[in-house]
Amino acid sequence: MPVLPDPSARHPLVLPDGTEHRNVVHLAAVIDHPNWEVGRHACANDFDPPQDWAARLAPYLYPGAPERLGIGPFCRIAHGGRVVAASANHATGGISTYPFAVFDPAAMPGFLEGFAGLPDTEIEPDCRNGHGAIVLPGARLGAGVIVGAGAVVGGSVPPYSLVAGNPARVIRRRIGAAEVGRLLAIAWWDWEDARIAAHLAEITGGDVEALARVA
């Protein structure tokens, strides 16, 4: 029977010669950041693996920021993928948007007060963010979304959609609307790993009814 990799393993992909593919990581094993929430088996790939994966993938999300980033289980982020957190924004209400206060320690407390209540960003389970895709502040990607290479995604994306472009738009729905509700209720990503491994044929197949039967 197939088995899933150890979700606590830093490098889940093992090559045929037994060596670890060090460009691929389990995010839960490499992210130690108070503003991140990462589901098991969520992965990222980078051709130039960083020391700090949190800084590489969400460079503007600093510890203690007034927002969070959620990455659901079984998500994948390809090389060049980024999440732009809302803390990256500059104030836009005045004539100049230059962040003068950032360079003045005495002014920083007042500057930071203006960033309260920033929106969280959520990438729900089993999403795939393609090469170079950018997720904008406050975006919410529904379960099973595929983001095309180079796309710039904001707002809410319906579950099991394929989006592409800048700004990203829904190219097509991967699964019919009636079946989406069934898949969200099944939530196979919440099953124990052994159960997932036993039913990979149904999970990776295209027959929702077959998956429903084993659920």
DSSP the chain: ---PPPTT-S---B-TTS-B-TTEEEHHHH---TTEEE-TT-EEE-SS--S-HHHHHSTT--TT-S--EEE-TT-EE-TT-EE--GGGPPP-SSS----GGGG-TTTHHHHHHTTTTPPPEEE-TT-EE-TT-EEPTT-EEPTT-EE-TT-EE-SEE-TTEEEETTTTEEEEESS-HHHHHHHHHH-GGGS-HHHHHHTHHHHHSS-HHHHHHH-
Q: What is the pLDDT of residues 127-182, one digit of tens each?
A: 999 999 999 999 999 999 999 999 999 999 999 999 999 999 999 999 998 899 99
Domain span at residue 181 reads 176-215
Q: Is residue 14 part of a domain?
A: no
The closest of 148, 146, 211, 154 to 184, measured between CA atoms, is 211
Residue 90 designated active-site: yes
Q: Domain count of the chain?
A: 2
Distance CA(42)–CA(7), nearest Å, equals 9
Q: What is the pLDDT of residues 68-113, one digit of tens each?
A: 999 999 999 999 999 999 888 777 778 898 888 888 888 777 777 7
> Is the residue at 117 inside a domain?
yes
Q: Out of 11, 26, 90, 199, which one is annotated catalytic?
A: 90
Q: Say whether both 111 and 77 belong to one domain.
A: yes
Pair (190, 148) in one structural domain:
no
CATH of the domain at 68: 2.160.10.10
Same domain, 57 and 150: yes
Does the predicted model carry a pTM greater than 0.85? yes
Report yes or no on 99 lying in a domain.
yes
